[in-house]
Amino acid sequence: MCKGHSHSHSHDHGVATQEVAMEENFMQANDDLAKENRSILENHGITAFDFMGAIGSGKTTMIGKITERLKDRYGIAILNGDATTVDDFDDSALEGAQLLQISTKGACHLDADMVARALREEIDLHQTDLMFIENVGNLVCPADFPLGSKKRVVVVSVSEGPYTVRKHTEMFMGAEIAVINKMEIADVMGIDVDALINDIHTVNPNTKVVTTSCRSGEGVDDLIELLLERSAEKVNA
Amino acid sequence: MHELSVASSIANSVMDFARKHNAQKVVEVTLAIGELTSLATEQLSFCYHTVCKDTLIDGSSLSIEKIEAEVSCSHCSYNGAPKMWEGAFHSLEVPTLQCPECGKGAEAVKGDECTIKNIKYVE
C-alpha cells in the first residue's frame, strides 16, 4: 500500500500528468509471509533451517545424513523444494521423518507462500522439532526470498571451483552458516579450502563455516553442533 | 531468473494503482533497488515490459535508482559505506559486511531496498 504519498501535477507535451510519490516495498508480500511462517514455527517450538546452494552441492545428502543422526531424538520435517523432480529422497534411510516434496514448477527459488502452505496443510507441526527446508539448487535467487527459517545455511562444494564465493556474495552475506562440502575431493580438484573460508569471512565475518564430506559423514556432527548451537565456538575455532 | 516473478509483482502493484486512480495511462514507474539485493536491473526492466504487454499499463517506462549499501558496526559503532572487496572477481568491486574500521562483522542497514518510489500517470 502506498503510504505518506505526495501528489503533484504537471504538463508534458500538453497532456496533464499526475505524479504520486510512495514507499511501496514490492517484496512485502513475501516478507510478510516469511514473518508469519517464523511466528508459526516459533509458536510450535520448531527450529527451521533453509538450505541453499548450487545443484549438486550436496544439500539433499547433507539433510539426509543429519536426519539419520537426529531422527531418534527429534521430530524432523524435510521440505524439499525442486524446480521439476519430485523424487529426490531415498525414503528408507529417513523413515520416521516427515518428507514433503515441493515442486516449484520451474521457478528458481522457494518463496514464503510455498512454505506457508506446507505449514498449514501438509506438515504435522505438533510432531516437529526441527525442519530442514531444501531450497531449489541455485546460488542467486533464493537470497532475495526469506522463508521464515531461523537460520540460512549455504552449502558449497569444492567441485564448484575456487571462485564460487566471490561470484555469489549476496548469498553468503545472508547466511549464518556456510558448509564447504565434498572435502574428500578438494585436493583432486586443486581447491585451496583455506582461501574459500577466507573469502566467506571477507564477505561476512559473522558467518560460521564448517567443512564436511557428506558421503562418508565426516564433519556432519560438527555441522549438527553448529545447527543446534551446542558448541558453536569450538566448531568455528 | 527470479526477475520475472518480481517484475510480475511490480506490474500487479502498478495495475492496482492505475485502477485505483482511474489512470488512462501510466507514463513512468520509478523503482529504488538496493545494491545488496541480487536483482539484475536490466533483466528486471526487460521482464517488466514483457509482462506489461497488452495490459492497462502497457507502454509505461521503468526507471531504476540504485541505492548504495550502508553498514552499522556494533563492535566499534561505525556507520556508513561498507568495506568494498576490490577485484573480488576480475575487476569487480563488491560490498561486504566487514566493518571498514575494525574488520569485524557489521550489519547492513541500507542496500536491500525493493521499492516503488514514484508513479507518473495520465488521469
A98: its cell numbers = 516427515
pTM for this prediction: 0.88
Interchain CB distance below 8 Å, B1 and A167? no
Q: What are phi and psi of A2, to 5 degrees?
A: -85, 130
- To the nearest whole Å, the CA of A151 is away from the closest chain B CA by 16
Q: Would you say residue A232 has pLDDT above 80?
A: no
B70-80 per-position pLDDT tens digit: 999 999 999 99
Interchain CB distance below 8 Å, B117 and A21? yes
A93-124 per-position pLDDT tens digit: 788 899 998 888 878 889 999 999 999 999 99
Q: Which domains does chain B have, with CATH numbers?
A: 2-122 (3.30.2320.80)
Which residues of chain B are within 8 Å of residue A25 when distances are taken between CB atoms? 113-115
Rg (CA), chain B: 18
- To the nearest whole Å, the CA of A79 is away from the closest chain B CA by 20
A55 interface with B at CB cutoff 8 Å:
no
A176-185 per-position pLDDT tens digit: 999 999 999 9
* Residue-level pLDDT at A1: 45
Which residues of chain A are within 8 Å of residue B39 when distances are taken between CB atoms? 144
Asked if B59 contacts B36 with a C-beta cutoff of 8 angstroms, the reply is no
Interchain CB distance below 8 Å, A141 and B115? no
What is the ipTM for the molecules in this complex? 0.85
| Geometric angle at alpha carbon A26, from A24 and A30, rounded to 5° | 125
A81 contacts: CB under 8 Å, gap ≥ 6: A102, A104, A109, A110, A114, A133, A134, A135, A136
Asked if A85 contacts A52 with a C-beta cutoff of 8 angstroms, the reply is no
Which residues of chain B are within 8 Å of residue A22 when distances are taken between CB atoms? 116-119
